[in-house]
Amino acid sequence: MVPKVYVTYNQVRQTLARDLVTSLALSYPSYHLTTAPDTRRNTDHPSPPQVHKLCQEAAPRILADFAPNLIIAIGGGGYVPARILRSFLKQPGSPNIPIQAIGLSLYESLGTTEDAQIEEPGTKVTRTQWLDLRSLEMANLIGKNVLIVDEVDDTRTTLEYAVKELEKDVAEAAEQAGRSGEVVRFSVFVLHNKDKEKKGSLPKSMMEERRYLAARTTGDVWINYPWEATDIDEHDKMSGQQTKE
Ligand SMILES: O=P(O)(O)OC[C@H]1O[C@H](OP(=O)(O)OP(=O)(O)O)[C@H](O)[C@@H]1O
Ligand SMILES: Nc1nc2[nH]cnc2c(=O)[nH]1
């Protein structure tokens, strides 16, 4: 059998860039030419057990400090971490913490980059699903603790939108119920927070009261989560390579 050799688009791009710089350097010897650092070159491939363990590790702090009565998962990326987390937050003798979902979308694969896995941020957050805050169950939330879960905090645009809009809607619902003095205490959990300049921001009180928790802080790398993989064996291979590196 002929062995398969995998060459990624990034390797091809890097090789072409290096060759171009070499030939330009020959033509323009008095210039110092070099390839610019490619911040998008790096990708991360957390494995399913790694994702599981990030949730497990965060659960005691979430229970102790946030004590959530409800989890709101930001779909699609927040669904899986929220569900895993629920198992670790389950207390003997108490029911599971319910999960509600909101659907927000900022990133799309436009198919314009060479690396089809890396998506481009859009310019605005689109609501694809929202909560009915006038419902009886939601009215029960007034005065309670709500944990918002997403998988990644990149530019923070999505989280800013989610927190702002939820706070606004909950305040309206509380007013309508004649309970405007009672607030909902929102906290945030993400698997990964990228250490970069953020476009969005979260309420000062949330940060000061440490109601924001990221299981890991990473560089500005594109993270390929296992639930997005269309070839899980390939994803598994990439995770394995990273673990060895
Ligand atoms: O910090 P930000 O720059 O806002 O990016 C983070 C958001 O981007 C992704 O969502 P996406 O818009 O891709 O939707 P999806 O979860 O349905 O894929 C991810 O799930 C976060 O919600
Ligand atoms: N899957 C994934 N979605 C994102 N949305 C914003 N940043 C990321 C990322 O690094 N990975």
Least confident of 135-144, 146-155, 200-209, 229-238: 135-144
Q: In the chain, helix, strand, coil percent, each to 5? A: 40, 25, 40
The residue type at 56: Q
CA gap 82, 95 in Å, rounded = 16
pLDDT for the residue numbered 35: 53
Q: Output the CA 141–ligand 2 centroid distance in Å.
A: 30
The beta strands (E) that lie in 76-176 are given as 99-108, 120-129, 145-153
Top-level CATH class of 44-228?
alpha beta
Q: Could you read off the pLDDT of 11-66 as tens digits, one per residue?
A: 666 677 777 877 887 888 777 666 554 444 588 999 999 999 999 999 999 999 99
Do residues 216 and 193 lie in contact, with contact meaning Cβ atoms separated by under 8 Å?
yes
Average pLDDT of the chain is 87
pLDDT for res 23? 80
Going along the chain, which residue ranges are E strands? Answer: 43-44, 70-75, 99-108, 120-129, 145-153, 185-194, 212-218, 222-223
pLDDT at 66: 97
Q: Which one is predicted more confidently, 202 or 121?
A: 202
Give residues (CB < 6 A) around ligand 2: 107, 152, 154, 222-223, 225, 228
Helix (H) or strand (E) holding 79: helix 79-89
Instruction: Decide if pLDDT at 130 tops 90.
Output: yes
Q: How confident is the model at residue 109 (pLDDT cuts 50, 70, 90)?
A: low
Residue 140 pLDDT greater than 60, yes or no: yes
Which residues does ligand 1 sit against, CB inside 6 Å? 74-77, 105-107, 119, 121, 150-158
CA of 80, nearest ligand number: 1
